[in-house]
Structure 1
Amino acid sequence: MSDMLNVKGLSISFGGLKAVNNFAINIEKGQLYGLIGPNGAGKTTIFNLLTGVYKPDTGTILLDGQNLTGKSTTDINKAGIARTFQNIRLFKDLSVLDNVKAGLHNHHTYSTLEGILRLPRYYKVEKEMDEEAMELLKVFGLDGECDFKASNLPYGKQRKLEIARALATEPKLLLLDEPAAGMNPNETAELMETIRFVRDHFGMTILLIEHDMKLVSGICERLTVLNFGQVLCTGPTQEVLSNPEVIKAYLGE
């Protein structure tokens, strides 16, 4: 299989401290991949590098063969990387439907003038977006709550909505930042099913950061372990999780 994400030699320093040092990762198309490591290992910094929030000091980021190194957040999102956040970042006061429509604006456009004057193209595009957003909400079982305020959804459903909104941008690679954070065991089990479903239904390539090892061992095919900004170990999930170095890094023995 060909690589969806190919990262080599990625490094960044903040005030002389190397937060990420010579990071490399290869993720195949359709793979469910985990990035794990102790708190402060540099995992979120890597997500910020992959999405253009930070510009790397060195290294290259290739998405499906396209070089995204140093590009803006908007350009990277349009090229096909979408993410969710550890602290859910929905438009709380907007409806569930409008949250998903916000993600669709990458691929559905009308001019400001068409919007202000409510010209025919405005209605055509809005109708298309409504239909597409509803299709996505159906996939996640949220279509019945399409008119609810996003803030009124229970926590687990807000997570689903965030994933639906990310998928609305039509990504090639979906980055999930601690999707199980704050969830109870039942919600986590449901989340595992959702992530598997997203991968299979949309043919999606997924990279996730997660501390919940039950979730990680349950869905990830391969793992990269980060420690102090450097790759400690990479390989098939069970092999990595039973690696003495990895156990030591987590338990701090």
Structure 2
Amino acid sequence: MALLEIKNLGISFGGLRAVDNFSITIEKGQLYGLIGPNGAGKTTIFNLLTGVYKPNTGTILLDGENITGKKTVEINRTGIARTFQNIRLFKELTVLDNVKTGLHNHYSYGTVTGILRLPKYFKVEKEMDERAVELLNVFGLEGEKDILASNLPYGKQRKLEIARALATSPKLLLLDEPAAGMNPNETSELMDTIRFVRDNFDMTILLIEHDMKLVSGICERLTVLNFGQVLTQGKTADVLNDPEVIKAYLGE
């Protein structure tokens, strides 16, 4: 069953058609890749999916619900979370508190309760701490929960960003170049982490990535974008061996 259905999505900026007639269907539990040369429109599509931009044309259905044009907060609550090419952690907060920021959609208490530190405040904070530590355990970060996020090594900051996204309990996780800046060992660990997240969190994952080793190693299907339009779609091995895809990447 399809979790994400995008039909004829399009957006223009100052007369430039950045994304044109983009359509894609992603099944529940699928690990799907969106690839293409720099400037092809991949991040623009992520911004459309998360409400940063509003499309000029087309529809976005998440688990059958039309989320086209909704605000970012509404879309997150509906079930989409993302990471960014340039890591966006709260670097002056602890590792634990970074994850807790993603939990506030599901745990809450009133302003007065927080100011007066009423019993519900301590109960909810304890529950959030426990859930945050559970997520950190998944990524091997529980031992660093009390240090500042800025003091984590780069690869662990990437993992923390994914943990924080998972804290919102999404149906669809968008990963924007998760291997950017990683060395080969870190990339290999990341591949294992992404597979684990998909398999153990009942997660559907759509990722943008330029590292073809990662793409070929974990993605089941691919869509290739070029100049804002779909160049081809299909099984990963077939797409990566398509002469048109090779031409788009090599510029021949």
Within-5 A mapping of 1:180-195? 180-195=179-194
- After TM superposition, give the deviation of residue 81 of structure 1 in Å: 0.2
Distance 1:92 1:19 in 2: 32
Q: Percent of aligned pairs with the same residue?
A: 81
Within-5 A mapping of 1:151-166? 151-166=150-165
- After TM superposition, give the deviation of residue 113 of structure 1 in Å: 1.0
- After TM superposition, give the deviation of residue 121 of structure 1 in Å: 1.1
3-state DSSP class of the match of 2:102? helix
Q: Which amino acid aligns with 1:58?
A: T
* 1:200 counterpart residue number: 199
* 2:176 counterpart residue number: 177
Within-5 A mapping of 1:125-140? 125-140=124-139
Runs of 4+ deviating beyond 2 Å: none
* 2:144 counterpart residue number: 145
Q: Which amino acid aligns with 1:198?
A: V
Q: Does 1:223 align with 2:222?
A: yes
* 2:90 counterpart residue number: 91
* 2:74 counterpart residue number: 75
Q: Deviations over 1:47-96 (max 9, x none)?
A: 00000000000100000011100000000000000000000000001000
Q: Which amino acid aligns with 1:27?
A: I
The normalised TM-score by structure 1 is 0.99
* 1:106 counterpart residue number: 105
Q: CA RMSD in A?
A: 0.4
* 1:167 counterpart residue number: 166
Q: Does 1:243 align with 2:248?
A: no
**Deviates most, 117-126 or 177-186:** 117-126
Distance 1:70 1:119 in 2: 39
3-state DSSP class of the match of 2:77? helix
- After TM superposition, give the deviation of residue 169 of structure 1 in Å: 0.2
- After TM superposition, give the deviation of residue 165 of structure 1 in Å: 0.2
Distance 2:166 2:236 in 1: 25
Q: Deviations over 1:84-139 (max 9, x none)?
A: 00000000010000000000001101111111111111111101100000000011
- After TM superposition, give the deviation of residue 217 of structure 1 in Å: 0.3
Q: Which amino acid aligns with 1:137?
A: L
* 1:232 counterpart residue number: 231
Q: Does 1:22 align with 2:21?
A: yes
3-state DSSP class of the match of 1:186? helix
Distance 1:145 1:242 in 2: 42
- After TM superposition, give the deviation of residue 249 of structure 1 in Å: 0.4
Distance 1:112 1:9 in 2: 43
- After TM superposition, give the deviation of residue 203 of structure 1 in Å: 1.2
Q: Which amino acid aligns with 1:194?
A: T
Within-5 A mapping of 1:31-42? 31-42=30-41
Consecutive unaligned residues in structure 1, runs of 5 or more: none
* 2:53 counterpart residue number: 54
Q: Which amino acid aligns with 1:251?
A: L
- After TM superposition, give the deviation of residue 240 of structure 1 in Å: 0.2
Distance 2:249 2:33 in 1: 15
**How many residues are paired up?**
252
Distance 2:96 2:162 in 1: 13
Consecutive unaligned residues in structure 2, runs of 5 or more: none
Q: Which amino acid aligns with 1:12?
A: I
Distance 1:25 1:148 in 2: 41
3-state DSSP class of the match of 1:127? helix
Q: Deviations over 1:4-29 (max 9, x none)?
A: 10000100000000000000010000
